[in-house]
Amino acid sequence: MQGFIIKLNRAREEDMIVSIIAEESLQTLYRFYGARHSPINMGFKIDYEAEYSLKSSIPRMKDVIHLGFSWMGEYERLRLWQQFIALFHPHLKDSESIGNFYFDLLNDASARWKDQNPKRVAIESYIRILDHEGRLHRELNCFFCDLPIENDISLIRAFLPAHQNCSHTLSINPKGFEWLYTRASTLFLDDNEVERLWYVLNEGL
């Protein structure tokens, strides 16, 4: 099976507890350290087998193959990818069944990561997550004062809309906001707006 590594916890010596978004589930596996084992790291997409045993509640990861991306040799893209993918574990850790949405989302994002601005890819992916989870607030009422927002739309954590004066943050231009919310596209957001939303995204999914 295949999956994306979203968290690594060191166990005894060099062994690790590995959390993975697999094709249809969130999995936690035990990874024994060994000289013949292929290296793994946060954000890697891998092919692997899960070996179950009556002696342990956590299956063992075996036969690991790293399914690398062409951009992984680019430090900045890799750093942003690991920063983005690390957000998924605290968000999904208590979920029992997640279906294939998140795996497919990361597959799509990883394919676009090389040729597009990674921060834009992450923001567009996050909009898709909010929409999938029913958390995309399309009603333009300010999170702080609950009054309608007619202009100067600002987005706070979870991309909740707010008046710029209430949130004291950078506003989003109306066309950029419309395309983001209706088409999951950052096409009409400028680089300053993208930087601001990347900062908001890193507060947590």
45 and 105 fall within a common domain: no
pLDDT digits (tens, 9 = 90+) for 105-138: 999 999 999 999 999 999 999 999 999 999 999 9
| Global confidence as pTM | 0.93
112 and 23 fall within a common domain: no
User: Contact 89/19 with Cβ under 8 angstroms?
Assistant: yes
Residue 50: domain span: 2-66
58 and 103 fall within a common domain: no
Other C-beta atoms lying within 10 Å of the C-beta of residue 49: 12
From 66, 97, 120, give the residue that closes a domain.
Answer: 66
Overall number of domains in the chain:
2
Encoding tokens for residue 173?
């231009």
For 132-192, give the DSSP string.
Answer: HTT----S-B-TTT--B--S-EEEEGGGEEEEHHHHTS--B-HHHHHHHHHH---TT--HH
44 and 114 fall within a common domain: no
pLDDT at 114: 95
pLDDT at 37: 65
Q: Give the CATH number, domain containing residue 32.
A: 2.40.50
157 and 196 fall within a common domain: yes
